[in-house]
Amino acid sequence: PETKLPKVGTTIFTVMSQLAAEHGAVNLGQGFPDFEVPGRLVDALDRAMRAGLNQYAPAHGLPALREAIAAKTERCYDHRPDADTEVTVTSGASEAIFDAIHAVVRPGDEVIVLDPCYDCYEPAIDLAGGVAVHVPLDPATFAPHWGVVSAAITPKTRMLMINTPHNPSGAMLGADDIAQLTALLRGTDIVLLSDEVYEHIVFDGARHESILRHAELRERAFVVSSFGKTYHCTGWKVGYCVAPPALTAEFRKVHQYNTFCTFTPAQAAFAEMIREEPAHYEQLGAFYEAKRDRFRAQLEGTRLKPLPVPGGYFQLVDYSAVSDLDDAAFCRWLTTEKGVAAIPLSPFYESPPAGQRLARLCFAKNEATLDEAIARLGAL
Ligand code: PMP
Ligand code: GLN
């Protein structure tokens, strides 16, 4: 039978993690922390399981967690979504993205994505029968050119996807982007899907421009986040979606037949953690900023040139002083010959810029891990 996803193979994250394991490489490829989950969160999970919270949760999420998300949203973004009609807990941001796309994209609809973009977007659009329309971000700054986005809009455009802070570059949308985006969408019925999984990992005193801060935009938006990034537990796969009631109703139709509900005890644990320890997410930016600064200072001693990192936990490096290989070949070579796994950027594009020589390194790691990686990279 004809494959439904002809362009899809194994994700670059799986490929590079396997290669790293085979070659004993320090894995700065796939994005995940190698340090501990907060003790309180583990204790809360243990207590929830022992208290018997082991059966199906309400499909849309435990009320305590939806309330905690609503309160956190108000605390962070001056807007309190309705926990009953506007907040849905999902099995990671990945499920939320899939559900949001399937909730609104019909066969033949166009969805604008900004390249480079995270790799789960396009397959979900394809499976919904939609057409991904790729608009390049600025190759130097990874900022959107809103005029170019505007030119890509047609009567078939159903959705626009954005991601801030951005994976892989760390770039963040600013107030001016928000103003331009608002003007761009005004008068259209285009739905916005805002991937904000790195919402709390922002640096240098910058403000995360969550779409939830902006009344006109949030009226047409699915806003998605992930506790995996905020609480150092990417393997727990719990995320959520905030959207106005009409969009949430459609979203929940997909969610209830996709997963129905999400791991119950973790929901209780996150509810407690969000409520009782807001300092965790409030200090996450500072926590990662120290890691970023230390790692960047170390990179100065190598021939890899670090690009700016406004947010997120990835460092892009320009390796053109080291090698002329294309990025996929370079990252393989780095992993198998030099013992440091990295992620090439080309899989994040429909058509990668010619001659781009960038690789992505994850700095969500213990100092010892980063020190070992730097020792190996210094020898390039
Ligand atoms: N969006 C982006 C930009 C991501 O980096 C990730 C995680 N790698 C996800 C979505 C998916 O998040 P989750 O692991 O919660 O499904
Ligand atoms: N989001 C992670 C990254 O960008 C990978 C997640 C995955 O492996 N699917 O590295």
Same domain, 310 and 228: no
Ranges of residues in the chain whose predicted pLDDT is under 70: none
Six-digit token string for 351: 């058509």
Six-digit token string for 198: 């790195």
Spatial neighbors of 257 by CB under 8 A, at least 6 apart, are none
Distance 13 CA to ligand 2 centre (A): 6
In a domain, 343, yes or no: yes
Same domain, 358 and 268: no
Segment 365-376, tens digit of pLDDT: 999 999 999 999
197: Cβ below 6 Å to ligand 1? yes
Q: Which residue has its alpha carbon closest to ligand 2 atom 8?
A: 13
Same domain, 154 and 261: yes
Same domain, 106 and 144: yes
Pick from 277, 297, 324: which residue ends a domain? 277
Site to substitute for ligand 1 among 11, 95, 118, 169, most atoms within 8 A of C-beta: 118
Same domain, 257 and 313: no
Same domain, 261 and 307: no
167: Cβ below 6 Å to ligand 1? yes
pLDDT of residue 343: 98
How does DSSP assign 222-260, residue by residue?
Answer: EEEEEHHHHTT-GGG--EEEE--HHHHHHHHHHHHHHTS
Same domain, 25 and 88: no
In a domain, 7, yes or no: no
In a domain, 4, yes or no: no
Same domain, 16 and 124: no
Sequence letter at residue 48: A
69: Cβ below 6 Å to ligand 1? no
Same domain, 25 and 44: no
pLDDT of residue 28: 98
pLDDT of residue 2: 86
Buried b (16+ CB within 10 A) or exposed e, 323-352: beeebbebbbebbeebbbbbbbbbbbeeeb
Pick from 225, 253, 277: which residue ends a domain? 277
Ligand closest in space to the Cα of 97: 1
Which atom from ligand 1 is nearest to the alpha carbon of 312?
5
d(CA 88, CA 239): 9
Closest of 94, 31, 82, 80 to residue 240, by C-alpha: 94
> Pocket around ligand 2: residues whose beta carbon is below 6 Å from it?
11, 13, 30-31, 167
Distance 101 CA to ligand 1 centre (A): 15
Q: Which residue has its alpha carbon closest to ligand 2 atom 1?
A: 31
In a domain, 218, yes or no: yes
Same domain, 241 and 357: no
In a domain, 72, yes or no: yes
Distance 23 CA to ligand 2 centre (A): 20
Distance 312 CA to ligand 1 centre (A): 11
Q: Would you give the DSSP letter of residue 191?
A: E
pLDDT of residue 68: 98
Distance 30 CA to ligand 2 centre (A): 5
The whole domain housing 98 covers: 39-277
Pick from 246, 277, 308: which residue ends a domain? 277
Same domain, 333 and 273: no
CATH number at residue 93: 3.40.640.10
Question: Which residue has tokens 């029968």?
Answer: 129
In a domain, 214, yes or no: yes
Ligand closest in space to the Cα of 347: 2
Q: pTM, whole model, 2 decimals?
A: 0.98
Which atom from ligand 2 is nearest to the alpha carbon of 360?
10
In a domain, 1, yes or no: no
In a domain, 292, yes or no: yes
* Count of domains observed in the chain: 2
Q: Which residue has its alpha carbon closest to ligand 2 atom 7?
A: 13
Same domain, 325 and 235: no
CATH number at residue 360: 3.90.1150.10
pLDDT of residue 143: 98
Question: How many angstroms separate the first and last alpha carbons of the chain?
Answer: 47
Ligand closest in space to the Cα of 32: 2
Segment 13-46, tens digit of pLDDT: 999 999 999 999 999 999 999 999 999 999 999 9
Phi then psi for residue 176, to 5 deg, are -70, -40
92: Cβ below 6 Å to ligand 1? yes
Closest of 362, 43, 77 to residue 229, by C-alpha: 362
